[in-house]
Every structure is written in structure tokens, then in C-alpha cells.
Amino acid sequence: MSLARKAGIFTVSRAVTILAQLMAVVVLTHSLTEKQAGIVFYLLTIYGTAQTFGQLGLPDSVFYFFEKLNPSLRKGVALLIGRSLLWLSLAGAAVMLAIAWVGATREGFGDVRLLIWALMGLLLFELPTLPLPNILIALDRAKGAAWLNLFIGMTQFAAMTIPLLLPNPVAGITWGLLVYGVLRLAVSGGVFFKLFKHETAEPLPPGTVRELFTYSVPLSLAQIFWGLNRQVDKYIVQWFLPATFAIYTAGAYEIPIIPTIAYSIASVMMPQLIGHHLREERGPLLALWYKSIRKVTVIVLPLVMVFIVAAEEFIALLFPENYAGAVVPFRIYTLILLQRVASYSNMQKALGSTREITYAAIYLFVINAVLSIPLVLWLGIAGPPLASLIANTFTWWYALDCIRRLLKIKFSEVFPFAFYGKALGVAALAAVPVFILKYMVELPAAAGFFVLAVAYLLVYLVLARATGMVEEEDWRRLLRAGKVRK
């Protein structure tokens, strides 16, 4: 299977999974009171924090060590990572309990102390299974990883929506997620046994364990700070503006499907990037890096512009009327996506350097945390997303500079700036007539987002073809994708 096809399959599966998670949140906002939704969102925020702390960078180390070590050692490496994550899940559960105990002191959040126990159990079941999609990709089984992602997304959706039929839906959701964790562990165990049933876990060479943790621990620090960066604004809003927590959480996120495009393609490319690096093939490595950025850019930038233009309509489509205030953080967070045309940390991982990833994550968290508190007091719910935008802009530059130093090239050569600038200009220009349409014509509330999205994408395609942003090969692929195969 070609690299492009594998990337496409995995990206679609991740997009469907993330869409299922987003739709679960939408269903919750329509089915629960604002107070109940706030409790569920806060519990999920705590769980996300603990999961970030508990990984220790181990799932991402799969690609590097599966490529570097003899294939006969892969089962041993996978088992070592799984056992380590099981022990780490115990520490993560303790982190969850501590956060829940403090957070319960805020008005309206007292129930989290009792409900957190079910999610602590979920962590023990889910954390050891996190490396499996990466293992499947590393073993050239992109379809298997895609099916696993789809199972995870659909099961999570069911776990969060079916309990809405119960008398106590908030408690039902926490126990439903625990059932999801049991199912995920069972399915993951079956997949792992099938992958390695004909292999024995050979003893790892001396020093492998130390090398594994030397590689992964810097990644874990980066993941911790990345995770905290995604959640620090929510903790600040929950503390300073608890009454608006549910509304803020509904809009305070980067549309997950869009960055998934770059991250999924980067995950599939990891074995090739690592191979080029280990063979010291800088030219092919850069060529693959540039090509992926160009292809992702012409997809991501117009999608981002759609949500910038139609932010009000998108929030109105998903959430009840009392969530209209979510537009403010949503639009600011969407601006961050303009730089999500590549996975810069994956490139650094492929080059065998993880320390700078940690520094970037620390800078991102510190800048965001330092700016969020004064900005939330000054601007309300617009403050934390603005702080995140400033922090992400700085760390984008820092990541590119680190890659430049690792490859020993000029800063102008580390990223296709000219192509990106042209693509951004075309995407922005296409938004002008759509903004005029939006404020000159009264659109129906339910269909407004789709009308603006279709109008924008049509204008963008015309401009992109006229300016050469969409090449003939891309255009033929788009037309083929639009045909129904018999």
C-alpha cells in the first residue's frame, strides 16, 4: 500500500473517531442542564490531565524503537511499554483524585469527588492500550490501526450517550466510560495476541530499557506540558468564572479533525523519516517533509477559514442558544489552526532529538499560564484563548528553529514559507465575498453554516486552480474521490 493511501486511511479513521467524540459533547449539551454538563466536562478535563501525566512519552517511542531494533525484539519492546504504562496508570489515578478534591470546592462541582472513582478505574484499563495504534502502523498495518480507532470512537460515543436515558445521567456517563475501558482492553488484548502469537518475547539487549526511557522521558515532559496547556485555561475559567465553565468548554478547543490531518500523515511518515535520518539521507528527508506540508496546507487552510468565517453559525448548529457565548473562544482557538500544517514535534522525534520538544512545551505552557490569568480578569472568556494564540505563535517559530539547527540548514529552508504565504493569501481572499454574503443576506439558522461552507469552498477552489495552488494531480485525485465507485 502506498504511503499516501495509508496516510489517507489512518487520517479518515482518526477524523471519524474525533467527530464521534465531538458529537458526544454536542449531545450532552442538548440533553443535560448547563450545570450537569459542566460537571461532566470538568471530569473529562481531569481525566485528560491524568492520562497526559501517565503516558511518560512511551506510546510515541514505538516508531523509533521498532525501526531501530531487530524485528525479533519488537514483542519484548511492546510488552515493556505496556507494563510500564500499567504502573504509571496508578500514579495517574492519584493525580485525578487530588485534582477532583480541590476542584470540588468550587460552587456546583461538589459531586466530582464521588464520580471521579469510575474514571480512575478507566485510566487503569485504557492507559496500557494507548500504544497499540502506533504498533499497528509501525508494523505496516494502517488498516488495522484505522479499524481500531473507529472502534474506540464509536464505543466512546455510546458510553457517553446511552447513559442519558438513565435517571442519573451524569453518574451513568462515568460508569459507561468505565465499561468502554473494559471493552477497549479486551479488544486490544485480542489484537496484540493476533499480531505476536507466532513470536516469542526475546530478552532485550542490555541498556535497552534505559535507552527507551532516555528517549521517552523528555517526550513525557513535553506531553505533560502540552496537556496542561490545553487544559490550564479550563481550570482558570472553572476557578475564576465557574458559572460560564460549560459554555467556555463548548467553544474552547481547536477543531480536532483539522490538526489530525497533519498529525496522522506525520505518524504514517515516521518510519520513512526515521529511515532517511538513520541513513543520513538529508535530501530525501527534506523532500518528503516539504511535500507533506504542501499537500496538507492546501487542505487545512481553507478548512480553517470556513470555521473562522462561519463561527457563529457553527456554534448555533451544534449547541443550544444559551451556548452562544462559546463563539468567542472558538474563533480565537481556530486561528491557532493556521499553523497546523505539519507535526513539527514528529519531525524532531524522527531526527532523534526530544529535548527541544520538551523545551517548546514548557515555553508554551508557561507563556499561556502567565498570560491567561490577567487576560481572563481583563477580557473574560476571550482572555485565555488569546493567551494560547500568543503562546502557540512563539512555539511555532521555536520548533522550526530547532529543526533548522538539527538539519544544519538556513531558517528559510526549514519550511516552504513562500508556498505557505501564497496559500494563506488565497484562502483569506476567498473569505472576502463569503463575509459579504454573510452580513448582506439573512441565512436560516440551521443551514447557515453549510451555505457559507459550500460558498467558501467553491470560491476557494476557483481561486486555488487559477493560482496553481491545487495542482493537476491533486485536482484529478479530488475528482476521483467525488465519484461513486460501482
Report domain extents, the chain: 1-205, 212-415
Sequence length of the chain is 486
Q: Phi/psi class of residue 470: alpha, beta or left (left: φ > 0; alpha: ψ in -120 to 50)?
A: beta
Whole-number pLDDT of residue 22: 80
Q: What's the pTM value of the predicted model, to 2 decimals? A: 0.69
Locate 172 and state its grid cell.
Answer: 451513568
Distance CA 297, CA 303 (A): 10
Q: Which residue has the cell 478534591?
A: 101
User: Nearest to residue 361, comparing CAs of 472, 225, 181, 217?
Assistant: 225
Asked if 103 and 112 touch (Cβ cutoff 8 Å), the reply is yes
Whole-number pLDDT of residue 9: 57
Whole-number pLDDT of residue 486: 37
Distance CA 72, CA 75 (A): 7
Quickly list H helices, 129-168: 132-138, 142-161
Whole-number pLDDT of residue 7: 52
Distance CA 116, CA 296 (A): 39
Whole-number pLDDT of residue 361: 85
Burial (CB count <10 Å: 0-12, 13-18, 19+), residue 322: exposed
SS3 210: helix
Whole-number pLDDT of residue 6: 53
Asked if 334 and 308 touch (Cβ cutoff 8 Å), the reply is yes
Q: Which residue has the cell 461538589?
A: 110
Whole-number pLDDT of residue 1: 46
Q: Which residue has the cell 457517553?
A: 160
Please state the φ and ψ torsions of residue 343, each to the nearest 5 degrees: -100, 95
Distance CA 267, CA 346 (A): 7
Q: How far is CA 262 from CA 122, 230, 266, in A?
A: 29, 18, 6
Quickly list H helices, 310-354: 311-318, 327-336, 344-350
Amino acid, single-letter form, for residue 124: L
Q: What is the mean pLDDT of each run of 10 residues along the chain (486 residues)?
A: 52 69 86 90 88 78 72 80 88 89 82 90 93 81 81 92 93 95 94 83 75 73 76 87 87 76 70 77 83 86 92 89 90 92 82 79 90 92 92 92 87 90 94 89 79 92 83 56 42
Whole-number pLDDT of residue 221: 75
What angle, rounded to 10 degrees, do the helices at 327-336 and 311-318 form?
120
Asked if 292 and 269 touch (Cβ cutoff 8 Å), the reply is yes
Quickly list H helices, 310-447: 311-318, 327-336, 344-350, 355-379, 383-407, 417-440
Whole-number pLDDT of residue 482: 46
